[in-house]
Structure 1
Amino acid sequence: MSSRPERSIQRWTLALATVASFMTALDTLVVSTALDTIRRDMSASVAELEWTVNAYNLSFAVLLLTAAGVGDRFGRRRMFAVGLVVFVGASAACALSTDVTALIVARAVQGVGAALVMTLSLALVSAAYPSHRRGAAIGVLEGMVGLAVALGPLVGGAIAEGLNWQWIFWLNVPVGLVAIPLVLGMLRESHGPDTRLDLGGVVLVTAGAFGVVWALVRGNVAGWESVEVLVALVGGVVALVSFVVWENRVSNPMLPMRFFRSRAFSAGNTAVFLTFASLFIAVFFLAQFLQIVQGHGPLDAGLRLLPWTATLFFCAPVAGALVDRIGERPLLVTGLSLQAVGLAWVAVAAAPETSYGALVLPLVVAGAGASMAMPAVQTAVVGSVDHAELGKAAGANSMMRELGGVFGIAAGVAVFAGAGGYGSVRAFTDGFGPALGVAAALSVLGALSALWVPVMSRGSLDAAGQPVRRESTVEPV
């Protein structure tokens, strides 16, 4: 391993991390356009269908920070491979499920593997690349992650129409089986600075995240004032507060609280939460708008989202390279502002008589904005900590991203249900506009939080001759 050229190791790391992250991110919403087929095949109830999506997202979001700690302790490459094994095995179990209960359980196990893969992908790429090339690499990685989330409904619809829904999961198996030996043979192992696993932190953050995510997932179904939701939310918040207290006292914290003294880390994680909250609302409702209001099938609806989703593939790598030249803040503020403009434009334009052509330009604007923001925010967070602590920063960032997605869908659904519904085309558009308005507002908040990310200082250079970022003397503009 050590005799191989550094550039070769970097290319393999980026390629394998990108493929694995794309696969796990795709499964976040891939079943959304196949739910009706699954309902008919398995005689599933609406609540059971909801859990085929939420079981994955719940275990995924809850275990992201824990995955970073496990990777730091036992090896990021090793645990990345373990995550792929778990994800592939659970994917096969999903495809072989004969009833909806088995499918839900398999989806939850899938989320465990996905948490390891997603967190450690960012950590491995960040560790493999020097600081002056890290932004471009993360741009490629995050562009593909964003594209996978947005393409989920298209891929699920295409497979459900062209084959059968089981192939949504079967496709993961050969990809994973090829990737696992390559990960073990081609990537460099790396560890975090701690030699012990922070078990107290693992228990507290897992319990806290589980309680908060459970409340967000169940709030619109069980009622926000129900005992179930209130107990879960209060218990989750108490556990998270206890986690902060514990991490300040333990000698080997899984998430050092000193990270939050960095404006780049704190503002970056706030921005990524709001970015993905906005993005998930848009993905969740736009696919339905194209089907329910404009009458397209699942595959056609996914194809008509391409002006939006394709920007994530083409623009994010370019934005990642620009991060290395001009810094994160200009791209973050501009990108999230563009996403807000595009989504607000769609919200205002959407009506039963609206043509698809009227939506193309605002979709491109929103997609270009998201493409600019995602690599910038990831680079800001992982660049704010020491090299040895990249895994912890990546885990915190990944958890904020997934919690943002869960929060976004919960908030969007609540607003949609209050303003409209599924009773008619008019009722759907009555709720769709306000829901997209919430997505636009979250993007605006993200842009405002990005103003606290430090600018790139032109007055000093690092060892590689690249401009460094200035934390303490720059005020937000």
Structure 2
Amino acid sequence: MADTLSDQAQATDPALATLSPRARVWTLFVTCLPVLLVISSMVALNTALPDIASATSATQSQLTWIVDSYTLVLACLLLPAGALGDRYGRRGALLLGLVVFAVASIAPAIWSDPLHLIIARGAAGVGAAFVMPATLSLLTAGYPKEQRNKAVGIWAGAAGSGAVVGMLGSGGILHFFSWQAIFWGFAGAAGLLFVLTLTIGTSRESVAKPLDWPGAVVIGGGVAILVFGILEAPARGWSDPLVIGSIVVGAVMSVAFGVIELRQRHPLLDVRLFTNPTFATGAAAITVFFLAMFGFFYIVMQHMQLILGYSPIKTAFALTPLMGPVLLLSATAFWYVPRIGLRLVVFTGLGLISLGFLLMSDVDIDAGYGAVGWPMLVMSFGIGLLTAPTTSAIMNTTPDDKQGVASAVNDTTREVGAALGIALAGSLLAAQYTELLTPRLPAALPEPARDAVLGSLGHALEVSASLGPQGAAVTELARTAFVEAMSTSLLGMAIIVGVSAVVIGLWAPGRDDRQLAVVERLTRRG
């Protein structure tokens, strides 16, 4: 490959490099809001699914894809969209993304057939794919390197709070309006952000290079197939041929992308960046902590609503303690990371998340909010420690001309991690729930009712209401099985994250930017 990493490092756009401090702060403010919208949109519809099912007669599979089509399209287009922003202008990419997102969000408020909802959410994912990398790359291009970590920390804090903001917003809307109002809210917010985006500067590659279309097609298809397989795993099982085949094909295409990029004169993504321990640590740690965070949301939101009886908005308020440590530690990452090093940050952050899962796994049927509340606070400190440093690790090791692609790598790892977390948590919970409940149900329970009760706790509560005197006993059995299954799932998540903390911690560079000697020796031998 003719270009080296140093050859690719170009100056940022002069218009942004000379921004005044006030203009930089305004750019930071404006670029944080769209990413907050994109992330909140990922989870906001979860609170409205019961209303959507009732209004549209959507099946469970259709409901799943109303949520997942957005994630799938977003994940597979992030790298190509980031590259287009680098090539043709990042503000233009952001504006385009906001327009597509707004139009796609209006459609479900007008046409409410389940298929139309799925298509519209997929189209919104196209817009979101242009929005996310553009926000972070505009921000990093507008700040000099000595100030960049502070700005990235604030951006990362906003992104990390997006899920809770989305639940609060959608819960508040549903308290007063119908589910269609959520889509009107998305469209209105995107329209306002379009106007605000016109007030900031733009940036692009200082030397225009041809876009790597073969690489874009291969990685887009590979990520799409991989994420599809992961998303289908909870419903079909990890041993299903479609799930296995999708994951294998997605992985093979990702490897093929790496081979293609090594042969390209102007690659979409210089895959040699992954040999940089700082870059690789950032990507791996983001994947794991998003896996943990969205797996946690998937399990605990069901516990709060189905076991504790919380409404959607009360559930959102119950999760708000997550935001405090995430925002505080993200904004101060520029201070503590240089003092303790990325290795200790990653190991401690993932360790705290694992500890939070472990403490929460002790929950029982009679436990109240405190059983999940204070372990959640432990987890939030771990998430807060990781949020900004891992993003900075990716952005600071990537040439300035490729900040859009770097931002897309950062965002893609988040999406894959989130999909994997929901799939793992969902699979563990569903398998344990069915296994525990099957031998406990009364033999006289009719087969259709039995199948529904074994399907999920939500279905069990619906069916139990129509079973007369027998319903109360079935409800109690299902609730007990769910809590026991939840405990096992949380323990499994604790082990996964704990092992990851050790493995990534060993690979990560320390305060002196060096890896542990044992890892260096193993790398040299390899």
Structure 1 length as normaliser, TM-score?
Answer: 0.91
Q: Is the 8 A contact 1:70 1:79 kept in 2?
A: yes
Q: Deviations over 1:14-54 (max 9, x none)?
A: 11111000000001111111100110011111111101110
Pair 1:219 & 2:233 matched: yes
Q: Is the 8 A contact 1:339 1:367 kept in 2?
A: yes
* 1:417/1:141 CA distance change after superposition, 3 Å: same
Query: How far is the alpha carbon of 1:292 from its aligned partner?
Result: 0.9
**Equivalent-residue separation in structure 1 for 2:328 and 2:515 (angstroms):** 34
* 1:127/1:100 CA distance change after superposition, 3 Å: same
Which residue does 1:461 correspond to in 2?
A: none
**Equivalent-residue separation in structure 2 for 1:120 and 1:471 (angstroms):** 31
Q: Deviations over 1:373-420 (max 9, x none)?
A: 110100111111222222222211211111011011111111111211
Pair 1:383 & 2:396 matched: yes
For 1:7, the aligned partner's letter is P
Q: Deviations over 1:134-159 (max 9, x none)?
A: 22211111111111123433332332
Higher mean C-alpha displacement, 319-328 vs 444-453 = 319-328
Pair 1:331 & 2:386 matched: no
Which residue does 1:55 correspond to in 2?
A: 69
Which residue does 1:429 correspond to in 2?
A: 483
Pair 1:150 & 2:204 matched: no
Query: How far is the alpha carbon of 1:213 from its aligned partner?
Result: 0.8
* 1:92/1:323 CA distance change after superposition, 3 Å: farther
Count of residues in correspondence between the two structures:
464
For 1:370, the aligned partner's letter is I
For 1:242, the aligned partner's letter is A
Pair 1:369 & 2:382 matched: yes
Q: Is the 8 A contact 1:151 1:309 kept in 2?
A: no
Which residue does 2:424 correspond to in 1?
A: 411
Query: How far is the alpha carbon of 1:2 from its aligned partner?
Result: 6.9
**Equivalent-residue separation in structure 1 for 2:307 and 2:342 (angstroms):** 38
Which residue does 2:405 correspond to in 1?
A: 392
* 1:44/1:291 CA distance change after superposition, 3 Å: same
**Equivalent-residue separation in structure 1 for 2:92 and 2:401 (angstroms):** 17
Q: Is the 8 A contact 2:108 2:180 kept in 1?
A: yes
Q: Deviations over 1:259-314 (max 9, x none)?
A: 11200111211111111000100111111111111111111122112222343234
Q: Is the 8 A contact 1:328 1:379 kept in 2?
A: no
**Equivalent-residue separation in structure 2 for 1:73 and 1:435 (angstroms):** 44
Query: How far is the alpha carbon of 1:327 from its aligned partner?
Result: 4.1
**Equivalent-residue separation in structure 2 for 1:380 and 1:2 (angstroms):** 22
Q: Is the 8 A contact 2:87 2:204 kept in 1?
A: no
For 2:50, the aligned partner's letter is D
Which residue does 2:508 correspond to in 1?
A: 453
Which residue does 1:251 correspond to in 2?
A: 265
**Equivalent-residue separation in structure 2 for 1:248 and 1:413 (angstroms):** 37
Which residue does 1:11 correspond to in 2?
A: 25
Which residue does 2:216 correspond to in 1?
A: 202
Pair 1:443 & 2:497 matched: yes
**Equivalent-residue separation in structure 2 for 1:12 and 1:251 (angstroms):** 37
Q: Secondary structure at the match of 1:29?
A: helix
**Equivalent-residue separation in structure 1 for 2:151 and 2:197 (angstroms):** 18
**Equivalent-residue separation in structure 2 for 1:378 and 1:3 (angstroms):** 21
Which residue does 1:465 correspond to in 2?
A: none
Which residue does 2:254 correspond to in 1?
A: 240
**Equivalent-residue separation in structure 2 for 1:221 and 1:425 (angstroms):** 21
**Equivalent-residue separation in structure 1 for 2:218 and 2:50 (angstroms):** 37
Query: How far is the alpha carbon of 1:3 from its aligned partner?
Result: 11
Q: How does 1:56-455 map to 2 (within 5 A)?
A: 56-191=70-205, 195-323=209-337, 326-348=340-362, 350-420=363-433, 421-422=456-457, 423=460, 424-448=478-502, 449-455=504-510
For 2:197, the aligned partner's letter is V
Query: How far is the alpha carbon of 1:73 from its aligned partner?
Result: 1.4
* 1:331/1:306 CA distance change after superposition, 3 Å: same
Which residue does 1:43 correspond to in 2?
A: 57
**Equivalent-residue separation in structure 1 for 2:305 and 2:390 (angstroms):** 33
Query: How far is the alpha carbon of 1:325 from its aligned partner?
Result: 5.5
**Equivalent-residue separation in structure 2 for 1:3 and 1:418 (angstroms):** 54
For 1:106, the aligned partner's letter is A
Task: Extract unaligned runs of 5+ from structure 2.
Answer: 1-14, 434-455, 461-477, 521-526
Query: How far is the alpha carbon of 1:192 from its aligned partner?
Result: 6.6
**Equivalent-residue separation in structure 2 for 1:190 and 1:298 (angstroms):** 42
**Equivalent-residue separation in structure 1 for 2:491 and 2:133 (angstroms):** 30
Pair member with larger Rg: 2
Q: Deviations over 1:338-361 (max 9, x none)?
A: 12212221122x111002133322
For 1:250, the aligned partner's letter is Q
**Equivalent-residue separation in structure 2 for 1:192 and 1:346 (angstroms):** 50
Query: How far is the alpha carbon of 1:320 from its aligned partner?
Result: 4.6
Q: Is the 8 A contact 1:143 1:375 kept in 2?
A: yes
For 1:437, the aligned partner's letter is L
Q: Is the 8 A contact 1:72 1:193 kept in 2?
A: no
For 1:438, the aligned partner's letter is G
Aligned residues: CA RMSD: 2.2
* 1:359/1:239 CA distance change after superposition, 3 Å: closer
Q: Is the 8 A contact 2:89 2:202 kept in 1?
A: no
**Equivalent-residue separation in structure 2 for 1:73 and 1:427 (angstroms):** 54
**Equivalent-residue separation in structure 2 for 1:442 and 1:116 (angstroms):** 32
* 1:142/1:3 CA distance change after superposition, 3 Å: closer
**Equivalent-residue separation in structure 2 for 1:341 and 1:234 (angstroms):** 32
**Percent identity of paired positions between Structure 1 and Structure 2:** 29
Which residue does 1:466 correspond to in 2?
A: none
Q: Is the 8 A contact 1:259 1:265 kept in 2?
A: yes
**Equivalent-residue separation in structure 1 for 2:379 and 2:207 (angstroms):** 40
**Equivalent-residue separation in structure 2 for 1:474 and 1:19 (angstroms):** 42
**Equivalent-residue separation in structure 1 for 2:391 and 2:64 (angstroms):** 30
Task: Extract unaligned runs of 5+ from structure 1.
Answer: 458-469
Q: Is the 8 A contact 1:332 1:450 kept in 2?
A: yes
Structure 2 length as normaliser, TM-score?
Answer: 0.83
